[in-house]
């Protein structure tokens, strides 16, 4: 599949408070990089998304999480972004770090990378030691529905 990050969210709609907080975190992380390693950012009531420059796959989080027909029936919706380690990878890992901080145990995060591959993302997310510890616990668990 290539170098990829994965996240698993509960089926259903993300709460207003969580969506607002996460959207603001993403804007804070991404906006300084538009015109550099980020081409464009979309943040609205239904989606948070951005494209790398150069792009590989769009990082996209839908507010309404639903299982697509190809996904197994269970309590979490499988999402992923293939970055191929392109420069915007550090922005993706920062946004996933904040996703874990905001959504807490509602989200599980996995990656083809190791914790040390996320260090710049932790810095860009301005992550606390506890946020880093929680994210690394997910990476070590290697969650796979």
pLDDT in tens, 41-51: 999 999 999 99
Angstrom distance (rounded) from CA 80 to CA 60:
8
Please, are residues 22 and 33 in contact by the beta-carbon 8 Å criterion?
no
pLDDT in tens, 104-123: 999 999 999 999 999 999 99
With a pLDDT cut of 90, the percent of the chain lying above it is 84
Say if strands 108-111 and 4-10 run parallel, antiparallel, or are unpaired: antiparallel
For residue 113, being part of any structural domain is answered with yes
113 Cβ neighbours under 8 A, 6+ residues apart: 3, 5, 93, 139
For residue 92, being part of any structural domain is answered with yes
User: In the chain, how many domains are there?
Assistant: 1
The model scores a pTM over 0.85: yes
For residue 100, being part of any structural domain is answered with yes
For residue 71, being part of any structural domain is answered with no
pLDDT at 92 over 80: yes
Residue 101: how many CB atoms within 10 A of its CB? 21
At residue 143, the pLDDT reads: 67
């Amino acid at each position: 599949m290539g170098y990829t990050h994965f996240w698993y969210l509960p089926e259903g709609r993300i709460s207003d408070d969580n969506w607002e907080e996460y959207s603001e975190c993403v804007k804070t992380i991404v906006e300084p990089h538009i015109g550099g390693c980020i081409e464009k950012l979309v943040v609205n009531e239904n989606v948070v998304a951005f494209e790398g420059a150069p792009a590989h796959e769009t990082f996209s989080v839908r507010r309404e999480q639903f299982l697509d027909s190809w996904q197994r029936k269970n309590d979490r919706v499988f999402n992923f972004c293939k970055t191929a380690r392109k420069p915007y990878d550090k922005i993706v890992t920062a946004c996933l770090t904040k996703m874990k901080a905001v959504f807490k145990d509602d989200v599980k995060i996995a990656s083809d990378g190791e914790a040390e591959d996320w260090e710049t993302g932790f810095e860009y997310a301005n992550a606390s030691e506890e946020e880093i510890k929680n994210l690394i616990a997910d990476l070590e668990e290697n969650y796979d529905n």
